[in-house]
Amino acid sequence: MVMNVEDTGLEVNNMYNLGEALYERAEKKGIELGIERGIEQGIEQGIEQGIERGTTQTLISMITRKMKKGKTALEIAEDLDEELSRIQPIYDVAGSFEPDYDVDAIYNALLAEREAVK
């Protein structure tokens, strides 16, 4: 089949348009997949942070209950079967919230202290 120049030009133009359309679809699909993956990662990260926060707040609550009874950081670490290195920073921060020991306020202070160190 012999094509004239005009037909060849139209064919090339059609192929170009098709390629461009396919590229745009692929780009859109890639963006959609990227957004989907980002949302999934955000949800996973949020769950992990929530678990960490809950665990830390529970530990703060246990520590402050023992602080109200006059226990030292070492005694609390032994009672809770935790490392002193985990108890001491919470104990130190919680001391400034005596006598109420607001768990949320202590948690936020610990976060602020960690951010200041970074």
DSSP of 71-114: --HHHHHHHHT--HHHHHHHHHHHHTTTTT--HHHHHHHHHHHH
pLDDT for res 5: 56
Question: Measured between alpha carbons, how far is 65 from 80 in angstroms, rounded to an integer?
Answer: 12
pLDDT for res 66: 96
pLDDT for res 24: 84
pLDDT tens readout for residues 14-57 = 777 777 877 788 888 888 888 888 999 999 999 999 999 999 99
pLDDT for res 7: 62
The model carries a pTM of 0.69
| Top-confidence residue, 114 or 64 | 64
Q: Is the pLDDT of residue 81 over 80?
A: yes
Question: Measured between alpha carbons, how far is 58 from 63 in angstroms, rounded to an integer?
Answer: 9
